Chains A and B, each alone.
Chain A
Amino acid sequence: GESVGLHLPTLSVQEGDNSIINCAYSNSASDYFIWYKQESGKGPQFIIDIRSNMDKRQGQRVTVLLNKTVKHLSLQIAATQPGDSAVYFCAENGGYSTLTFGKGTMLLVSP
């Protein structure tokens, strides 16, 4: 089946830096992508989503970029804070609420 993968397993940054987490997807027919944040002992928390008719979407301190040409997705976190430390997953929606997740990137933020 189709899969979504991440380039980096761990990303370490300093507090205040900007963080970029990348994701490659393989299903060119996917039209909806989501980023989730998962803290230890908790379920994934919705961060931001983007549909295939867009190439950029901004939220509070977060921006998602979609490059359909190379099937690449990225999450940018501005002014990263220690509370941003978590595992970040990208996911693509395969219809009927079926999410295919990447393996996740752990973001470590040092004070």
Chain B
Amino acid sequence: KAGVTQTPRYLIKTRGQQVTLSCSPISGHRSVSWYQQTPGQGLQFLFEYFSETQRNKGNFPGRFSGRQFSNSRSEMNVSTLELGDSALYLCASSLRDGGDTQYFGPGTRLTVL
């Protein structure tokens, strides 16, 4: 089975721009979660989707949004980029919900200049 895939792997943007990141979960997995990883804050939960519905959201501003499609693929969007948004954005998928193991993709490295 193919693992979680994320595109693009690397991205460079400038302040004020917006960005869309994509995640394809493991086949059969219906839950997709997003995390932000920075050296200062570590791994922080952004949001989680299941069956196209956001079930939980972390403590991030409204500039961070996401969605999930009927095939469980997910995208996250960051608008009006700030320097502090530079991070590794990780996507994880699991079968259903919290009791299931989450498997991570390789991440998208976003650099905001």
Contacts and interface: CB of A to CB of B under 8 A. Distances in A.
The interface size bin for chain B is 20 to 34
B104 A97 contact: no
Interface in A35-75: 36, 41-46, 49
B101 A96 contact: no
30 contacts: A1-B59, A32-B99, A41-B106, A43-B4, A43-B92, A43-B104, A43-B107, A44-B43, A44-B92, A46-B101, A46-B102, A46-B103, A49-B101, A91-B43, A93-B99, A95-B98, A96-B31, A96-B98, A97-B92, A97-B98, A98-B33, A98-B48, A98-B58, A98-B98, A99-B33, A99-B102, A100-B45, A101-B35, A103-B42, A104-B42
Interface of A: 1, 32, 34, 36, 41-46, 49, 89, 91, 93-104
